[in-house]
Homo-oligomer: A and B are copies of this chain.
């Protein structure tokens, strides 16, 4: 098995030495952060397995699918519709990266003041450690923020595989029309890539598949509203992260099985932490795998994270696409409407995000809000001021990066904050 993987990675052009370092660090990190947690649900075993095989079995599946003519498409943003990729027999994988890998290389081609999420996906490429990136037939970028938008130019130089779709920055009628046209252009691009014509039947099927995934994640979120919380924020975060990599049908089934177990826990009053543990809602920047830093800090400081208003979180599963459309055009319109509901800080103005935070805080019975920004993320850093003045819960702003250097100091701040709740 191990040797098969090495051959597979070699064939993908992975730098085995760098990759080995990454896998070892990841395994250690996972042991320390995840496996050390107490009272984990049984259902997390599947997700532990997925993590352990993230660069193994899942990549093998992708490569087998490619041999059957399927295309693997990498994305970096929740505005790129998985439904359309799947409707032409594609497989969608998230490529945002959450570890400080290849930063020295990345900083040779990126400004120093670039957020770590971008440095990481460029660093992963430059050091050839990501079998997902290397498996992709197409990388779909978007224009959500200045940093990613310009980084895709560099990524395209490195891969010659980047297609960029424009995401508008205003939800005017004109912005909506642009986005709709972008989805039609994306359809053409995907059909060209896959040499397939999208059919209504298949499109409807895939809308259902992705809706089911989102429903399962909504169900998981809802279960976190109970006190005691039946699952840790860390574990729920992991499930949300894996949503971007795993086969969606299998993933949905496993999330629902986990939720069945959590429902039992709720009935029995079983939680991961005692009833009355301070409850935190996190809002802000995405948490790309393996970015577990903030959740780990909060949950080892006496609180439980009950929700994420984040791309890895509610912004991914906030709503469904209506399934009763009768033409591809109609379906794409419904898709556009659904995706544009996502309240990303790249939009101006973006009052929907504040509403979402307020709703989530209420629904999940949060007692405090932690605002998370990745250093140099302009859109989320800017909105922090508006969010802080709009919410009436205790508020802590954490502006950090992927390094572990500031953990001591941040943990002290988290502990002090949690004590006040």
Which of A's residues lie within 8 Å of B, judged by CB? 109-111, 113-114, 143, 145-147, 149-154, 164, 166, 168-170, 172, 174-175, 177-178, 181-182, 185, 345-346, 348-349, 375-376, 378-379, 381-386
Contacts of A168 in B (CB 8 A): 166, 168, 178
Q: What separation, in Å, do the CA atoms of A178 and B166 have in the docked complex? A: 11
A146 touches B146 (CB 8 A): yes
Is the Cβ of B146 less than 8 Å from the Cβ of A346? yes
Query: Which of chain B's residues have a CB closer than 8 A to the CB of A149?
Result: 169, 348
How distant is the Cα of A372 from the Cα of B131 in the complex, in angstroms? 38
Residues of the B chain whose Cβ atoms lie less than 8 Å from the Cβ of A114: 378, 382
A150 contacts B113, C-beta separation under 8 Å: no
Q: A382-B110, A385-B109 given as contacts; is B181 within 8 A of A185 (CB)?
A: no
Task: From the candidates B166, B185, B345, B375, name the one contacting A150 in the complex (CB within 8 A).
Answer: B345
Smallest CB gap from A346: residue in B: B146
Compute how far the CA of A384 lies from the CA of B150 in the bound complex, rounded to whole angstroms: 11
Nearest opposing residue in chain B for A109, CB measure: B385
**Set B147, B174, B182, B384: member contacting A382, Cβ < 8 A:** B147
Contact, CB under 8 Å: A378 / B345: no
- With A and B bound together, what is the CA distance between A384 and B111 in angstroms? 9
Q: Which residue of B lies closest to A141 (CB)?
A: B348
Do B170 and A174 touch across chains, with their CB atoms under 8 A apart? no
* Chain B residues positioned under 8 Å from A348 (CB to CB): 143, 149-150, 152-153, 164
Complexed CA–CA distance, A382 and B379 (Å): 17
Which residues on the B side are within 8 Å of A385 (C-beta)? 109-110, 154
Complex: A113 Cα to B115 Cα, angstroms: 11
Give A386's nearest chain B residue, CB to CB: B153
Instruction: Please give the distance in Å from A103's CB to the nearest CB on chain B.
Output: 16
Q: Is A381 in contact with B113, judged by CB distance below 8 angstroms?
A: yes
In the assembled complex, how far is the CB of residue A385 from the closest CB belonging to chain B, in whole angstroms? 5
Further 18 A-B residue pairs, CB within 8 A, beyond A111-B384, A378-B378: A110-B382, A111-B381, A111-B382, A113-B376, A143-B169, A145-B146, A146-B379, A147-B378, A150-B379, A153-B382, A153-B386, A164-B170, A166-B170, A166-B174, A166-B175, A174-B185, A177-B178, A178-B178
Other-chain residue from B174, B185, B381, B386 in contact with A182 (beta carbon distance below 8 A): B174
Q: Would you call A178 and B174 a contact (CB within 8 A)? A: yes
Assembly CA distance A319 to B3 (angstroms): 62
The CA of A113 and the CA of B170, in the complex, are separated in Å by 24
In Å, the complex CA distance between A149 and B149 comes to: 15
Nearest CB on B from A262, distance (A): 38
Q: Which residues of B contact A386 (CB under 8 A)?
A: 153
Task: For the complex, give the distance between the alpha carbons of A169 and B169 in Å.
Answer: 10
Per a CB cutoff under 8 Å, which of B185, B349, B375, B381 touches A153?
B349
In the complex, what distance in Å separates the CA atom of A176 from the CA atom of B302? 53
Write the nearest CB–CB distance from A369 to chain B, whole angstroms.
18
Q: Nearest Cβ in chain B — how far from A182, in angstroms? A: 6
